[in-house]
Amino acid sequence: MRGVLVGAAMCVAANAVAADSIPESLTGARGDPVRGRAIIVNRHLGLCLLCHSGPFEEQRFQGDLAPDLKGAGARLSEGQLRLRIVDNSRVNSATIMPAYYRTARLARVAPAYQGKTVLSSEQVEDVVAFLSTLRD
Amino acid sequence: MRVVGTVALLCTLAVPVRAVEIPPAERRSGYEFMSRETRAMQDDDAANPAMLWVLEGEALWARTAGAGERACRDCHGDARSSMKGVAARYPAFDATRGRPVNLEQRVNACRTERQKAPALAYQSRELLALTAYLGRQSRGLPIDIATDARMKPFLDAGRAAFNRRQGQLDLSCAQCHDDHWDKRLAGNAITQAHPNGYPLYRLEWQGLGSLQRRMRNCMAGIRALAPEYGSAEFVDLELFLAWRARGMKMETPAVRP
C-alpha cells in the first residue's frame, strides 16, 4: 500500500509540472500545522532552518541560503507548497533544496537512509499545513 | 507506459547545472571566515593545539622504526630543509602505482618499503603527527601540484566527484562551496572548502584530523555514503581540491571551528 502511495505521488508530481502544483494531499487528509511547525524547526528532521530563515523568533542561527519562509502561504498555494516540498527539482532543476518525498534519482545514499524519503507523507502534509498559515 | 515515459523524460531534464568555479582573485582560505579568537589560536604556536602533534611528528621523524632499523631522518636528513615545500605538492604522481598518492600514502609507502614497518592507519595519532610535521615545513608556501598529462584523468575524476550530486539530500560539493560560499548554513559560514591547512585542529573534533575526515563529515551531513579512507576516489577529490586551491598559501597545522 505504501509503495503504491509513493508511486502515485511520483506520478502526480511528474504530471503536475505544467500545473506547478500537487493539488491533492499525499495522505488524503489535512496535515496538522502544530506538528508542521515542530518539524520545520527541528534541525535533524525538517532541516529547513539550515538553509531558510523564517518567523521563528525562538530559533537562533537560521540559514540565509534560501528564501525567507515568512509569507510563504501568501505567495504559494497549498498545492504549490506541496510540490516544492515533495520535489522542488520539478520546479527548478538546479535547486539546492532536497526532495523531501522522492527516493528515485538519488546517488550514493548512506545505508541508513536508502529507500527512505526525508519526510513521511504525513510529515509533508503537516509542513504544508503550517506553511499555509504563514500569510503575512 | 505513458507515465513511465513522462518520468524518464523528466529525469533527463533534471541534470544539475554545472557550478561556476571561483575566480583566483576571489579565493579565500577558511581562515578568513573565522572569528578573531580562532585566528589568534592558529597564529600563535604556543596557543595552537595542533602544535602538540607537530612536536610528536618531529620526534617520530628521528625515531627508528621497522625491520630496516631506519628513521625518516636517516634518509631525508633535517626535515626543516629537505621537506620544505613537499607537502604543498601533494597529492603527487606515484610512478609505481600509476596514479596520484596523498601525503599519508607517501609516508606509508616509505614505512612499508624502506623502513619495513607496518603502515600507519588513517587517523592514527602517529600518521597525523607525521603529516602535521611535514605540512608544517610548507607553511606559508603556495600549493603547487603537478597537472601534467599523467595527472589529468585523476584531476578530471576529482572534478566530476566534486560536481556530482549525492546523498539523500542530493547535493554536490560545488553547490555549497562554489555557489554559496558566502552564505551561512544555519549559523555557520559555508566557506570555499580549500585544503590548505590539513591536517588541522578542529574545535568541533577537539583534535587533529585529516582532509578525508573532514570530507566524510560533509558527506554524513548530506546523508551520503562516504568512500573508504585512502580510496582512489578520495585521493582524486583531494587532488581536485588542491588544484582548485593552487597558489594558496599552506597554513598547516591550521585551526578551524
pLDDT confidence band for B4 (50 / 70 / 90): very low
Does A129 contact B at CB distance below 8 Å? no
Residue, of B1 and A90, whose pLDDT is higher: A90
Nearest CB partner across the interface for A94, out of B10, B16, B164: B16
Chain A hits for B176, CB-CB cut-off 8 Å, are 96
Indicate whether B80 pLDDT > 70. yes
- Contact between chains at A17 and B10 (C-beta distance less than 8 A): yes
pLDDT confidence band for B19 (50 / 70 / 90): low
Domains of chain B with bracketed CATH: 25-256 (1.10.760.10)
Give me the residues of chain A with pLDDT under 50, please.
1-13, 15-18
pLDDT confidence band for B12 (50 / 70 / 90): very low
Instruction: Report the SS3 class of residue B224.
Output: strand
Does A118 contact B at CB distance below 8 Å? yes
- The single-letter code of the amino acid at A46 is G
Percent above pLDDT 70 for chain B: 93
Indicate whether B6 pLDDT > 50. no
Contact call for residues B171 and A65 (beta carbons, < 8 A): no
Contact call for residues B181 and B29 (beta carbons, < 8 A): no
pLDDT confidence band for B2 (50 / 70 / 90): very low
Nearest CB partner across the interface for B225, out of A104, A105, A110: A110
pLDDT confidence band for B84 (50 / 70 / 90): very high
Please choose, from the candidates B186, B205, B180, B12, the residue with its C-alpha nearest in 3D space to the C-alpha of residue B123. B205
Side-chain-facing half-sphere of B164: CA atoms under 13 Å: 18
Tens of pLDDT, residues B36-58: 999 999 999 999 999 999 999 99
- Contact between chains at A65 and B184 (C-beta distance less than 8 A): yes
Sign (positive/negative) of CA torsion B239, B245, B250, B253? negative
d(CA B144, CA B131): 17
pLDDT at A6 (0 to 100): 45
**What crossing angle do the helices spanning B232-244 and B211-221 adopt, rounded to 10°?**
100
Residue A14 distance to chain B (closest CA, Å): 6
Average pLDDT score over residue span B219-230: 97
In CATH, the number for domain A2-131 is 1.10.760.10
pLDDT at B21 (0 to 100): 87
First to last CA, chain B: 52
Does B224 contact A at CB distance below 8 Å? yes
Cβ of B20: how many Cβ atoms within 10 Å? 9
Nearest CB partner across the interface for A107, out of B11, B166, B226: B166
In the block, cell 613537499 appears at B86
Compute the mean pLDDT over every residue in chain B, rounded to the nearest whole number: 93
ipTM: 0.88
Q: What are phi and psi of B90, to 5 degrees?
A: -105, 150
Inter-chain CB pairs, A–B, below 8 Å? 90
d(CA A73, CA A133): 6
pLDDT at A19 (0 to 100): 73
Indicate whether B100 pLDDT > 60. yes
Contact call for residues B237 and B162 (beta carbons, < 8 A): yes
